[in-house]
Structure 1
Amino acid sequence: MKLENILLPVGILAVVAIAFFAYSATAAPLPEGFPPPTPEGQIEVKQYPAYRSATVRYSGELSMAANRAFDPLYRHISSNNISMTAPVETRYPVSTLEASEIGAPNERGEALVSFLYRSTDIYPSEIAQNIQVEDIASMTVISLGLKGSYDYSSYQKNIERLREWLAQHPEWTVVGSPRRFFYDAPYVPEPAKRSEIQIPIRRVDG
């Protein structure tokens, strides 16, 4: 049998496998009870139910947090036969809300990167030392919907819009670390990639 006759079916199978993975990543469901992504350019107050997540704690350049944490998180869900959901969550230090920190080159700090379980009923049978399983309480957030680059500079640029919104709405106060939700797989064209930047808030009494 000629080599090209062997390689052709193998190539077709590889393409099919890639297409299946792409479809699966695109079709990844939201965790139970999660609202849909905020549309591009809109700012809205949203309610989130309690959820469970697998989390990696990262220290270093914040621009590298999601990339460095992805492999151990993927190994965790794979070894436990846990389905992938969207979004992937990265929580940044509260200091990134401060005007003096915005736009700082090579900004460093500690970030928490999480894969969210589909349900709070899911609990893994195996947990590596670098993975923490967290139960996150329900929360209210102010959210900005985005499309485009997932790089950290876009977070630095757009967190300012939420700071401005908070300054204009003193009836709300910040109660937690800002976070970014990443909804789409790496193969998705950059202009089509959806994300949100969110800040946990609560209404000021009185």
Structure 2
Amino acid sequence: MSAYESAFARTDVGTIEIKTIPAARLLVSQSDNSYFEANNGLFRPLFRYIQANDIAMTTPVEAAIEPGTMYFYVGSDYADLELKDTDEVTIIEVSERTVLSLGVRGGYSAKNFNSAQARLLTYLSEQDKWIATGPARAIYWNS
């Protein structure tokens, strides 16, 4: 079990579910490259930012693939902390979101992401209640 605060519950491996992700404050690092090309280059500025501002790590880490964007959730203990954008990190507020979520296990690779995305798109194509309103994102847990 992780000692980090979780922004929301993870989806069990092998499960596809509709879930609501609560409104949150996010720290954002972005690249012109794909997420899988820029991963460490995205993580480092965020890590330096949370260290400089004495903010605890949280889980999960969220990633948009094209262009590569990494999101750190700001924990509830820091909700009122005044945070400022830097040249490398932007602070955003996101509203509650309803998402289609698939729990998978494996390395953080384009191949694994593409396989999971294909399963989600198949699920969506086989029902008529939900539609995609944006590209798939990766949600990474540290375990």
Q: Which residue of 1 aligns with 2:3?
A: 27
Tell me the distance in 1 between the aligned counterparts of 2:113 and 2:83: 35
Q: Which residue of 2 aligns with 1:156?
A: 114
Post-superposition offset of 1:161:
0.2
Q: Which residue of 1 aligns with 2:85?
A: 127
Change (3 A) 1:125 1:51: closer
Root-mean-square deviation (CA, aligned residues, Å) is: 1.8
Q: Which residue of 1 aligns with 2:71?
A: 114
Q: Which residue of 1 aligns with 2:102?
A: 144
Post-superposition offset of 1:125:
4.1
Post-superposition offset of 1:126:
4.7
Tell me the distance in 1 between the aligned counterparts of 2:121 and 2:35: 19
Tell me the distance in 2 between the aligned counterparts of 1:167 and 1:67: 34
Tell me the distance in 2 between the aligned counterparts of 1:123 and 1:169: 43
Flag the structure with higher helix content. 1
Q: Which residue of 2 aligns with 1:81?
A: 54
Change (3 A) 1:122 1:58: farther
Q: Of the candidates 47, 71, 76, which is equivalent to residue 20 of structure 2?
A: 47
TM-score (norm 1): 0.64
Tell me the distance in 2 between the aligned counterparts of 1:43 and 1:111: 24
Aligned length: 142
Amino acid at match of 1:129: D
Does the aligned pair in 2 maintain the 1:80–1:126 contact within 8 Å?
Answer: no
SS in 1 for 2:44: helix
Post-superposition offset of 1:72:
0.3
Does the aligned pair in 2 maintain the 1:79–1:126 contact within 8 Å?
Answer: no
Of structures 1 and 2, the one scoring higher in RCO (CA 8 A, sep 6+) is 2
Structure 1: unaligned runs, 5 residues or longer = 1-22, 93-108, 185-192, 194-206
CA deviation vs aligned residue, 1:124-166 (integer Å, no higher than 9, x gap):
4453211110101101000000112111210011110000000
SS in 1 for 2:4: coil
Does the aligned pair in 1 maintain the 2:23–2:94 contact within 8 Å?
Answer: yes
Change (3 A) 1:177 1:124: farther
Tell me the distance in 2 between the aligned counterparts of 1:125 and 1:137: 18
Tell me the distance in 1 between the aligned counterparts of 2:71 and 2:44: 11
Tell me the distance in 2 between the aligned counterparts of 1:181 and 1:170: 25
TM-score (norm 2): 0.90
